[in-house]
Amino acid sequence: MCSEGSVISIGRRRFIHSQLLLGSCLFAGPAALVNAQQAANIDAEGRLSKFFNLSRKLLSPLPLNTRLDKRVAVRMLAALNAEYPHFPQQLDVFPDDPGGRDRHSELARLIVASWYTGVVGQQLVTFERAIMYRLVSDVLPVPSYCIGRPGDWASPPQIRFGGG
Amino acid sequence: MAGMEAEFIIVGSGVAGALVANELASAGKSVLMLEAGPRVPRWQTVERFRNQVDKTDFMAPYRSAPWAPHPEYGKFANDYLVFKGSHKFNSQYIRAVGGTTWHWAASCWRFLPNDFKIRSLYGVGRDWPIEYADLAPWYQHAEQELGVWGPDDEELGSPRDRAYPMSPLPLSYNDAQVKQRMNAHNPDWRVVTEPVARNSRPYDDRPTCCGNNNCMPICPIGAMYNGIVHVDKAEANGARLIENAVVNRIVSEGDRIVAVEYRDSLGEAHRIEGKTFILAANGIETPKLMLMSPGRHHPAGVGNRSDMVGRNLMDHPGTGVGFYADKPLWPGRGPQEMTSLIGFRDGPFRAEYAGKKLHLSNMSVVERATREVLGQNLEHDILTLNERIRDRAARYVEFNSFHELLPQPQNRIRPSATEKDASGIPRPEITYSIDDYVKKSAVHTRENYAEIARVMGGSEVTFSDEFAPNNHITGTTIMGESAEDSVVDKDCRTFDHPNLFIAGSSVMPTVGTANVTLTIAALALRLADRLIKEA
């Protein structure tokens, strides 16, 4: 798992980009072949940007704004593209600003579930940063990531987030 | 490694084998441990767990080596065990250096005095050829070796003359609330703090528990005891260990064992000679090995003139209940298990149905709650989604149980005549069935589960009535007074071979009414003491 300060290796960045490109070839006609790689890179960045901003909107008011969240988004988008062949096209045509019905569409549910569980299909995208653990982090540790002191668990939980 | 030898040869490096090895090595003896599986560093298991998709599969981080398979189910099912009889003995264990206590919740109970004589007292099962008083000093020694915390202010029914090595850390809020309400309603339930091999302070160069809530499948920091502790100590004290060494034959001359043969990970054969041999390969693999080693003087297998090797297989069949309490309790803070209901371990009823222990789960259920709420596919906004997940995660209560299955010769493990593993070694074939002694007790347990749910204001009460295994694999090289109906004597020496001993749960004549690891440890330390005195 990358820490906030570390750098993704070049090889890994290339792999991620190639994953983000899945499906984009459908939209690049023959005329674009000359600068296909550059165009593809812009497409990849654009798609990632859209995915991340859409995720922020769908998960609002939960904050999704750190560098680590962005790294998770990169992995998550790659996993979604790999798991669901139509995902890239569906993402492309999805409204940038989803209304009520859009928020309960299948695509929106899939994105929300992926962020909540940290899992896409049979791939673990994130465990420690899964929203389901973040939303109870005022009370519970992520299993195996202890943040407390011995015996902390005896006191009634100090609820800081809504619910429970 | 041709011709390697040592005075003491130990087959298996779990808690039993490792304790014996360490005691012998510390006394200056020459010791060689042979472990079928690989060395697996703690960090690797932690990383495997963190990266696995299905977090409810606690065995997924412990994939078995092809040459030393252990049973795997679900996504990685390997059909290693062959099941016969009305119930599947679908147990789990780990063939790796350190053995199965890599993955447990560290419950460390002493047997009750009456657990040793249920035949005399209740007319069922078998009596042990030793009494509680014989094992008591070894229980104390085992508690010290493992590092056990326990409640000096509560009577658990097993007399002790010294305090526990450590005082407990406080109960989780979840455990304390449930305990208080239950005991107030019915003091006969006796919900108590569970003795556990877990550090409440730095102990034995290992840190204090800080609440990773990940005991099963792996404690990330070693605050909980794992058998690897004594493997490491044994090696530091001069014992040698060869991993990836699958012992497949015990070799005898007359009634003495002279060698064991094993194959390594490449399938190369090796022979190890020694003076004294200790089998500590668990309740399935130890009898399997003995039965795979017939000889002229023992055509039915090593140590098997009684025809009891592999028989009397026992476990603690378990049932469960889950419900949502009337207020938030937040399981998932602190260790995964901290209390137990012990009011039904003993009593005259044991003439009719099984004694048992019930225990509250303190495991985090966040993922379960999340999948449930998301799966409802309702049109929640994010805040409502979170509220529902938090509510379900906070109020979920789960109890599970151990029922004492009696020793019955027809429950048995044998090497399969037809099914072999990847190395050509027979797979374990297990014939097993759960009888009315347990089933009747489970009915009584269910009534109490319903009552517990009422006391806790429970809703959505769901019973798990199908018996689950609890991996307390016992009885298959049974200890007894007589060579006619037992495999080992009260010193854990096989009746048939004066230099062959057995350590582990397979010697236990009954499975008792609580977890068996402390009893395994006590017997192992007592055996080591006998071996040192004799040598």
Q: Does B160 touch chain A (CB under 8 A)?
A: no
With CB atoms and an 8 Å threshold, state whether B211 touches A153: yes
Map tokens 């569980």 to a residue: A117
Quote the pLDDT of residue B379.
82
With CB atoms and an 8 Å threshold, state whether B170 touches A154: yes
Q: Give A8's pLDDT tier (boundaries 50, 70, 90).
A: very low
Q: How far apart are CA B263 and CA B269, in angstroms?
A: 4
Of B46, B171, B210, the CB nearest to A154: B171
Position A31 pLDDT exceeds 60: no
**C-alpha B198 chain-centroid distance:** 16
Position A4 pLDDT exceeds 80: no
- Please list the helix, strand and coil fractions of chain B in percent, rounded to the nearest 5, in that order: 30, 20, 50
At A72-129, the pLDDT tens digits run 999 999 999 999 999 999 999 999 999 989 999 999 999 999 999 999 999 999 999 9
Quote the pLDDT of residue B4.
75
With CB atoms and an 8 Å threshold, state whether B383 touches A119: no
Question: In a mutagenesis test of the B interface, which of A110, A153, A161 is the best target, namely the one with the most B β-carbons within 10 Å?
Answer: A153
Mean pLDDT score, A54-62 = 95
* Predicted-complex ipTM score: 0.93
Q: How far apart are CA B92 and CA B471, in angstroms?
A: 6
Q: How far apart are CA B380 and CA B4, in angstroms?
A: 68
Q: Which amino acid is at B12?
A: G
B224 chain-A contacts, CB cut-off 8 A: none
Q: CB neighbours (10 Å) of residue B462?
A: 12
Question: In a mutagenesis test of the B interface, which of A122, A144, A155 is the best target, namely the one with the most B β-carbons within 10 Å?
Answer: A144
Quote the pLDDT of residue A41.
66
Segments in chain A forming alpha helices (H): 10-20, 36-59, 67-83, 87-93, 100-103, 106-117, 131-134
DSSP letter at A29?
-
Q: Give A2's pLDDT tier (boundaries 50, 70, 90).
A: very low
Quote the pLDDT of residue B148.
98
Which two structure tokens, joined as six digits, stand for B463? Answer: 């019973």
**C-alpha B435 chain-centroid distance:** 22
Quote the pLDDT of residue A36.
60
On whether the CB atoms of residues B271 and B259 are closer than 8 A, the answer is yes
> Radius of gyration of chain B from Cα atoms?
23
With CB atoms and an 8 Å threshold, state whether A144 touches B46: yes
Position A146 pLDDT exceeds 60: yes
Q: How far apart are CA B154 and CA B168, in angstroms?
A: 12
DSSP letter at B77?
-
DSSP letter at B195?
P
Map tokens 């791939």 to a residue: A123
Position A26 pLDDT exceeds 60: no
What is the layout of strands, in order, in the sheet containing B356-360?
B191-193, B339-341, B356-360, B396-403, B318-324, B459-468
Strand bridging mode B82-84 / B426-431: parallel
- Which helix (H) or strand (E) element contains residue B372? helix B366-375
Quote the pLDDT of residue B3.
61
Q: How far apart are CA B242 and CA B231, in angstroms?
A: 11
Nearest-CA distance B1 → chain A (Å)? 40
Q: Along chain B (535 residues), what's the average pLDDT of each consecutive run of 10 residues?
A: 80 98 98 98 98 95 96 94 96 98 98 98 98 98 98 97 97 98 98 98 98 98 98 98 98 97 97 98 98 95 98 98 98 98 98 98 97 90 95 98 98 98 96 98 98 98 98 98 98 98 98 98 98 94
Of A150, A161, A163, the CB nearest to B209: A150
On whether the CB atoms of residues B264 and B393 are closer than 8 A, the answer is no
**Mind giving me the DSSP string for B273-336?**
EEEEEEE-SHHHHHHHHHHT---SS-TT-TT-TTS-TTBS-B---EEEEEEE-SS---TTSSSS
**Mind giving me the DSSP string for B336-352?**
S--EEE-TTSSSGGGGT
On whether the CB atoms of residues B29 and B532 are closer than 8 A, the answer is yes
Q: Which residue has the higher pLDDT, A25 or B287?
A: B287
Quote the pLDDT of residue B378.
84
Q: Does B438 touch chain A (CB under 8 A)?
A: no
Which two structure tokens, joined as six digits, stand for A49? Answer: 């940007």
Nearest-CA distance A104 → chain B (Å)? 6
Which two structure tokens, joined as six digits, stand for B519? Answer: 């009893």
Question: In a mutagenesis test of the A interface, which of B377, B382, B384, B387 is the best target, namely the one with the most A β-carbons within 10 Å?
Answer: B382
Distance between the two ends of chain A, CA-based, in angstroms? 31
Q: How far apart are CA B170 and CA B33, in angstroms?
A: 38
Dihedral of the CA atoms B438, B440, B444, B449 (nearest 10)?
60
DSSP letter at B168?
P
Quote the pLDDT of residue A5.
34
Q: How far apart are CA B221 and CA B175, in angstroms?
A: 23
Q: How far apart are CA B84 and CA B307, in angstroms?
A: 19
Position A32 pLDDT exceeds 50: no
Which two structure tokens, joined as six digits, stand for B411? Answer: 């429950």
Which two structure tokens, joined as six digits, stand for B498? Answer: 């004066």
Quote the pLDDT of residue A164.
56
Question: How many CA atoms within 13 Å lie on the side-chain side of B118?
Answer: 26
Q: Does A99 touch chain B (CB under 8 A)?
A: no
B394 chain-A contacts, CB cut-off 8 A: 139, 163-164
Q: How far apart are CA B531 and CA B26, in angstroms?
A: 13
Of A139, A146, A154, the CB nearest to B210: A146
Nearest-CA distance A49 → chain B (Å)? 22
On whether the CB atoms of residues B483 and B494 are closer than 8 A, the answer is no
At A109-124, the pLDDT tens digits run 999 999 999 999 999 9
With CB atoms and an 8 Å threshold, state whether A141 touches B366: no
Tell me how many degrees the CA angle B515-B520-B523 measures, rounded to the nearest 5. Answer: 140
List the one residue out of B189, B190, B212, B209 whose CA is nearest residue B198.
B209
With CB atoms and an 8 Å threshold, state whether A141 touches B218: no
Map tokens 């209901």 to a residue: B341
Quote the pLDDT of residue A44.
83
Residues recorded for chain B: 535
Q: How far apart are CA B146 and CA B394, in angstroms?
A: 33
Q: Which residue has the higher pLDDT, B372 or A10?
A: B372
Residues 39-78 of B with CB under 8 A from A: 46, 49-53, 55
With CB atoms and an 8 Å threshold, state whether A127 touches B382: no
**Inter-chain contacts counted by CB atoms under 8 A, chains A and B:** 136
At B406-428, the pLDDT tens digits run 999 999 999 999 999 999 999 99
A160 chain-B contacts, CB cut-off 8 A: none
Given B70, B230, B472, B497, the catalytic residue:
B472
- Active-site residue B70, yes or no? no
Q: Helix (H) and strand (E) counts for chain A?
A: 7, 2
Residue of chain B with shortest Cα separation from A158: B330
